A = this chain, B = another copy of it.
């Protein structure tokens, strides 16, 4: 009877939505006539976990145009396809302290300040494979569909509006073109970019897209690898620094979830390794961020300690127990390890247990209850057990018990 227990995550989402629902400040985007027709009271949030379950609350099925929320994902496609070095020839990765439509081009290099402002985002789109706007947009769309896990449609009316009112974006394209950083003609880049911004999504889609970054590049619902782990990390890092325009620093202090908003009313937020969240509410604040989307993420972060830099209190030691085996004093020492072993846990284990390696009995490291040994931390154990030599009775001084093969890495998990 699951009903009895319910879905506490959905309850958490619903409770937060209830708390922010009364906020009526802000205005729906009006710079494009099409956007102004949206029903302003809509409010929805979804959380997609890295194991592929999506929890939903409110208007999670309402479709809206993705707009700037597309930026990190297209950046991700660019670095995945071209590598970080090549992409950095075309765009810088520094916060600009400026609004989304800032010009913000480095005078010397001609590179937009970062790929989260329009100038940088248009350059990213221009780097997509293909010559024509149609080809480049096809690559963007296919990529975003893999992030979302299903087909995405273009809102043709919004696209027409974008195209007919997009002179500032055209200006940015021509500027980057003249500075040598645009990867196509200005017309090709802006046409593809306008279509990209006009793709429709819902809060559920954004949650899954964000969760795909949280997993290190694998869509947790479709299990498809969309981008490399490196590309996912770089993308999340750029969202951390630059995702919320000129209040990115404040966002990192208050909320601590790398995020990106769009004037369509959506926000996608990532808790690396944990989950993705998508929110939707059309009314925007002066910076173009969804008022209730921001409030939802802020409250969720506070209530549930979701800040990326949250200290979770002292952890139990990764050494669950330490005991002598065998009836007599000369028996082996068994250290039962547990939990997630990142660098610090590896360090603690080796620091505390290293001195126990000796001539009388074997040190047994039992990894059975360990959930993961992070790749970079395995090197800390790399001396084990071979290099520490053998006991007089021929047995290794150290013995590793690792039935799930966590020491060998995730492929064994």
Query: For residue A397, which residue of chain B has the nearest CB?
Result: B4
User: Cα distance A311–B413 when bound, in Å?
Assistant: 15
CB-defined contacts of A232 to chain B, threshold 8 Å: 311
User: Cα distance A330–B92 when bound, in Å?
Assistant: 63
CB-defined contacts of A47 to chain B, threshold 8 Å: 347
Is the pair B311, A49 in contact by a Cβ cutoff of 8 Å? no
CB-defined contacts of A174 to chain B, threshold 8 Å: 167-168, 170-171, 174
Which candidate, A56-64, A94-102, A127-135, A139-147, is the interface stretch facing chain B?
A94-102
Q: Knowing A241-B252, A357-B1 touch, does A410 contact B374 (C-beta < 8 A)? A: no
CB-defined contacts of A409 to chain B, threshold 8 Å: 313
Which candidate, A21-29, A32-40, A65-73, A267-275, is the interface stretch facing chain B?
A267-275
CB-defined contacts of A389 to chain B, threshold 8 Å: 4
Q: Knowing A249-B114, A304-B343 touch, does A6 contact B316 (C-beta < 8 A)? A: no
> Is A172 located at the chain interface by the 8 A CB criterion?
yes
- Give, as a whole number of angstroms, the nearest-CB distance from A384 to chain B: 8
CB-defined contacts of A357 to chain B, threshold 8 Å: 1-2, 4-5
- Give, as a whole number of angstroms, the nearest-CB distance from A382 to chain B: 7
User: Cα distance A5–B353 when bound, in Å?
Assistant: 10
Is the pair A50, B344 in contact by a Cβ cutoff of 8 Å? yes
Task: Tell me how many residues of A have a C-beta within 8 Å of chain B.
Answer: 119
User: Cα distance A176–B233 when bound, in Å?
Assistant: 38
Is the pair B310, A374 in contact by a Cβ cutoff of 8 Å? yes
- Give, as a whole number of angstroms, the nearest-CB distance from A404 to chain B: 6
Q: Knowing A371-B315, A383-B8 touch, does A175 contact B168 (C-beta < 8 A)? A: yes
> Is A17 located at the chain interface by the 8 A CB criterion?
no
CB-defined contacts of A273 to chain B, threshold 8 Å: 311-312, 315, 344
Q: Of residues 214 to 233 in A, which have CB atoms within 8 Å of B's CB atoms?
A: 215-217, 229, 232-233
- Give, as a whole number of angstroms, the nearest-CB distance from A206 to chain B: 17
> Is A392 located at the chain interface by the 8 A CB criterion?
no
Q: Knowing A312-B374, A338-B369 touch, does A253 contact B93 (C-beta < 8 A)? A: yes
Known: A53-B347, A304-B376. 6 other contacts (CB 8 A): A5-B383, A7-B350, A237-B249, A241-B248, A313-B372, A338-B339
